[in-house]
Amino acid sequence: MVEVLWNQLTAPELNERAAADAIVLLPVASTEQHGPHLATGVDTFLCGEACRRTALLMADKRPVVVAPVVWMGLAEHHVAFGGTFSLSLDTWHALLKELCQSIGRAGFSKIVIVNGHGGNMAALAALTTDLTRETGLQIATTSYWNIPHETGAFAEILDTQTGVQHACEAETSMMMAVRDDCVRRDRLDAAFGPNAPMGAALGGALTLWRSFKDKTPSGVLGDARVASAEKGEKLLDSAAQSLAEELLSGKHWS
7-62 tens-digit pLDDT: 999 999 999 999 999 999 999 999 999 999 999 999 999 999 999 999 999 999 99
Alpha-carbon distances of 213 from 200, 230, 242, rounded to whole Å: 13, 30, 33
More confident residue, 235 or 205: 235
For 224-242, the DSSP string reads: GGG--HHHHHHHHHHHHHH
- Predicted local confidence at residue 205, as pLDDT: 67
| 3-class DSSP assignment, residue 63 | coil
Residue 248 has pLDDT above 90, yes or no: yes
- Predicted local confidence at residue 251, as pLDDT: 85
| 3-class DSSP assignment, residue 148 | helix
C-beta separation of 160 from 225 below 8 A? no
- Predicted local confidence at residue 254, as pLDDT: 65
Specify burial of residue 206 (Cβ count, 10 A radius: 0-12, 13-18, 19+): exposed
Please write the tens of the pLDDT for every residue from 57-83: 999 999 999 999 999 999 999 999 999
Residue 163 has pLDDT above 90, yes or no: yes
Band the pLDDT of 154: cuts 50, 70, 90: very high
- Predicted local confidence at residue 204, as pLDDT: 59
- Predicted local confidence at residue 225, as pLDDT: 98
| pTM score, whole prediction | 0.96
Residue 210 has pLDDT above 60, yes or no: yes
- CATH number given to 6-248: 3.40.50.10310
> CA dihedral defined by 12, 13, 16, 21, rounded to 10 degrees?
-130
- Predicted local confidence at residue 203, as pLDDT: 52
- Predicted local confidence at residue 206, as pLDDT: 77
Whole-angstrom distance, CA of residue 89 vs CA of residue 202: 15
Range with lowest mean pLDDT among 118-127, 163-172, 191-200, 219-228: 191-200
